[in-house]
Amino acid sequence: MAVTAGLTGVLATSFGLRPVPFAVGIAMALIGLLLSLAARDTKPSAGQAVQAAAQPISMVDALARGTWSDRRLASASLAGLATNLKDGALWGLLPLLLAARGLSVFEVGLVVGAYPLVWAGSQLVFGPLSDRVGRRILIWSGLVTQGLGVSLFTLGGSMTTYVIAALVVGTGTGMVYPVLLAFVSDNSDSHWRASALGVYRLWRDSGYAVGALGAGFIADRIGVEGALSATAVTLVAACALFTAGAQGTTDATP
């Protein structure tokens, strides 16, 4: 995502907004499809870890547990939704904010690309770290860090400030992205873990649509900066709700 954001910024500067930058997206989708055909199925090896007597739960039961009946999994679903809600809001509004403040298309691409680059790389640090210090501390602090980064975008006035904000948001996202998956795995049994992860991903990835639509709706009424401020508040609120819901849950031990 980081490379593509930067590359499309360069292409748009050289060739215009259409159609060349969109050709990159089409090529990526086709490459992903071809790679998926070569992927090996992991079901046989996964089945070895499941007890013979254990039966997978129904999808309705898994949906209920991950949405409301199991406060551990429900809190993780909420935290994941808030994280991707922030992504949907930023991807829709950040280019508009930066362009309105005088940044070129190339500069916008650099800022937007820096955020997922840090997000991707920092996961290599925070995933293993959560095995040592526990999941919850990284999740709640990562949500707060994302909120601070989003707020910094609204306060900034220079390219340097925007890059710093992107680094902060990317770090916060890297703190929660792999760790929430591990948290869900920690708190679900092996015979229905895939279902639990599926429900978590349902709510987490729904955040993209909720964030894009919600932020656009709010921006039409109180402006782009107001919508980003509302996004920051949502992340802090999600932190508080996750902290309350995750009390007493299974966690990694140092």
State the Cα–Cα distance between residues 20 and 168, nearest whole angstrom. Answer: 31
Do the beta carbons of residue 178 and residue 130 sit within 8 Å?
yes
Do the beta carbons of residue 235 and residue 144 sit within 8 Å?
yes
Do the beta carbons of residue 30 and residue 17 sit within 8 Å?
no
State the Cα–Cα distance between residues 53 and 237, nearest whole angstrom. Answer: 41
Whose CA is closest to 157, among 103, 231, 117, 105? 103
Per-residue pLDDT tens digits for 111-165? 988 999 999 999 999 999 999 999 999 999 999 999 999 999 999 889 999 999 9
Q: At residue 4, does pLDDT exceed 90? A: no
Query: What is the reported pLDDT for 254?
Result: 41
Task: Report the chain's terminal Cα–Cα distance, integer Å.
Answer: 33
State the Cα–Cα distance between residues 224 and 179, nearest whole angstrom. Answer: 30
Non-local (6+) Cβ contacts of 111 within 8 A are 94, 98, 103, 159, 162, 163, 166
State the Cα–Cα distance between residues 66 and 74, nearest whole angstrom. Answer: 5
**Residue 148 CA: distances (Å) to CA of 7, 119, 140, 179:** 27, 15, 13, 19
Per-residue pLDDT tens digits for 38-80? 888 776 665 555 555 477 799 999 999 999 999 999 999 999 9
The domains of the chain are located at: 1-34, 58-245
Do the beta carbons of residue 80 and residue 204 sit within 8 Å?
yes
How deeply is 88 buried, as exposed, middle or buried, from its count of CB atoms within 10 A (0-12, 13-18, 19+)?
buried
Question: Backbone phi, then psi, for 252, in 5-degree steps?
Answer: -65, 145
What is residue 19's DSSP assignment?
S
Do the beta carbons of residue 109 and residue 12 sit within 8 Å?
yes
H/E element, 202 = helix 193-222
Top-level CATH class of 58-245? mainly alpha
Query: What is the reported pLDDT for 253?
Result: 46
State the Cα–Cα distance between residues 185 and 207, nearest whole angstrom. Answer: 20
Per-residue pLDDT tens digits for 193-246? 999 999 999 999 999 999 999 999 999 999 999 999 999 999 999 999 999 998
Amino acid at 235: L
State the Cα–Cα distance between residues 207 and 191, nearest whole angstrom. Answer: 27
Query: What is the reported pLDDT for 15?
Result: 86
Query: Would the CA dihedral through 161, 164, 170, 176 be positive or negative?
Result: negative
